[in-house]
Amino acid sequence: MDFELSEQQAAFRDLMRDFARKSISPVAREWELAGRYPEEIVDEMKAMGLFGMLVPEEYGGIAIDAVSYSVVFEEISKAWMGVAGILGSHSLATLMLGKYGTAEQRKRWLPDLATGKRRSGIALTEPQAGSDLQGIATVAKRAGDHYVVNGSKTWITNARHADPLPVLVKTDPNAQPRHRGMTVLMIEQGTPGFTVGKDLDKLGYKGPESSEVFLSDCRVPVENVLGGEEGHGLQQALSALEFGRVNIAGRAVGVAQASLDRSLAYARDRHAFGRPIAEFQAIQLKLADMATEVQAARLLTWWAASALDSGRRADLETGMAKLYASEVCIKASLEAMRIHGGYGYSTEYEIERFYRDAPLMAIGEGTNDILRTVIARQLVREDVP
């Protein structure tokens, strides 16, 4: 039982850490507060091959393992969690294409997605359907060699840059059980009837856009059905979300670690009553709990990623990792603010950004309460000790 990264994984982590330190950290606070899109950082990530993390090598990707994948999101999120979001939903789209796409679909889209020439996201959520994906209302009706799609999506990361965008629709609204009537369509930019609406204002998670998407008599060719066959969309989406929980857990660990790092530095430098506040037991207790919980979250994330790398079903492990890491992240960001006092509340420091970014991890890729039910059902079904 090895709780350390391999030599190759550690070298990759160091590469990502150096990239985040040199290219992201110096501009993160200024650009985030200004609402500036990090185009220069995106260009560097293209050059590093990060848009092809989950793309098979035969299509120009680097096909890294799931543990390394989680490390990418941890290291970037230490500097600016929003930047990690640009890679997150894109990589899930490439995962879906690589795993479920037809040979023609993989050949058509994956090479450009691997380089970042094309980018993508994943359009699941609707105004009235988030956690309950079977409740979506977007419908695609077959009309000859096209589907005519009507409906809307919301909170779609990378919507303005996605080409193609995987969109979950109902091709048979009357199917029972409902999931048998659900399909993923790959919708390309410029398709008539496909419109990206406004960018939604957010508390945190700034950098990537989160947008509305409208589909009005949008005509999508039949050959754009992911996998070439109707009725498998929910399975494909849930499989992507299972993997996506590792990137959310990695992001949470990154923000939590950054909160701890800033708190340690501040506690050493800040003096009160003639000595560093790091010498006060009240501060020491906070720091000890933060360090222990962050490391536990990191190891749980690597454990879940290793389960994915083994090729077996891992919704229990990824659910646990995402649940625990996101709760640790929220707690760590709050404790960091308490340690910093008034400075933690100021935009001159990064603590307030960590505090604003942290709640997203408890919501994204399945809310924590939903994940608790997923975990419990697996425990009961499998009788896991």
| pLDDT for 307 beyond 70 | yes
Q: Are residues 93 and 39 in the same domain?
A: yes
Listed residue (88, 380, 117) closest to 207, CA to CA: 88
Listed residue (257, 287, 253) closest to 270, CA to CA: 287
Q: Are residues 164 and 48 in the same domain?
A: no
Contact 86, 266 (CB under 8 A): no
Q: Are residues 239 and 206 in the same domain?
A: no
* Residue ranges making up the domain that contains 60: 7-115
Give the CATH number of the domain where residue 21 resides: 1.10.540.10
Q: Are residues 199 and 143 in the same domain?
A: yes
Q: Report d(CA 126, CA 153) in Å as an integer.
A: 4
pLDDT single digits (tens) 220-279: 999 999 999 999 999 999 999 999 999 999 999 999 999 999 999 999 999 999 999 999
Residue carrying structure tokens 């891992």:
314
150 forms beta bridges with: 139
Q: Are residues 245 and 331 in the same domain?
A: yes
Boundary of a domain, candidates 170, 201, 231 = 231
Q: Are residues 23 and 84 in the same domain?
A: yes
| pLDDT for 132 beyond 90 | no
| For residues 355-368, average pLDDT | 94
Q: Are residues 195 and 241 in the same domain?
A: no
122: in domain: no
Q: Report the predicted TM-score, pTM, of the whole model to 2 decimal places.
A: 0.95
355: in domain: yes
| pLDDT for 384 beyond 70 | no
What SS3 class is residue 372? helix
Listed residue (50, 125, 131, 48) closest to 84, CA to CA: 50
Question: What confidence tier does 366 reach under pLDDT thresholds 50, 70, 90?
Answer: confident
Q: Domains in the chain: how many in total?
A: 3
Q: Are residues 246 and 376 in the same domain?
A: yes
Average pLDDT, the chain: 96
Residues with Cβ within 8 Å of 303's Cβ and at least 6 positions away in sequence, in order, are 317, 321
Contact 255, 77 (CB under 8 A): yes
126: in domain: no
Q: Are residues 108 and 96 in the same domain?
A: yes
How far are the Cα atoms of 75, 77, 85, 336 from residue 290, in angstroms, in the given order? 18, 17, 24, 9
Q: What is the pLDDT of residue 383?
A: 59
| For residues 185-199, average pLDDT | 97
Q: Rounded to the nearest 5 degrees, what angle is found at the Cα of 166, between the Cα atoms of 160 and 169?
A: 115
Give the CATH number of the domain where residue 152 resides: 2.40.110.10
Boundary of a domain, candidates 231, 260, 282 = 231
Q: What is the pLDDT of residue 381?
A: 84
pLDDT single digits (tens) 69-109: 999 999 999 999 999 999 999 999 999 999 999 999 999 99
Boundary of a domain, candidates 231, 251, 277 = 231
Encoded amino acid at 302, one letter: W
123: in domain: no
343: in domain: yes
Q: Are residues 220 and 247 in the same domain?
A: no
247: in domain: yes
Contact 152, 108 (CB under 8 A): no
Give the CATH number of the domain where residue 268 resides: 1.20.140.10
Cα dihedral angle (12, 56, 245, 210), rounded to 10 degrees?
Answer: 100
**Residue % of the chain over a pLDDT of 70:** 99
Question: Which sequence positions are flagged as catalytic?
Answer: 365
125: in domain: no
Q: How many residues does the chain have?
A: 385
124: in domain: no
Q: What is the pLDDT of residue 1?
A: 73
Q: Are residues 255 and 337 in the same domain?
A: yes
Q: Are residues 242 and 377 in the same domain?
A: yes
Q: Report d(CA 32, CA 45) in Å as an integer.
A: 18
Q: Report d(CA 305, CA 135) in Å as an integer.
A: 29
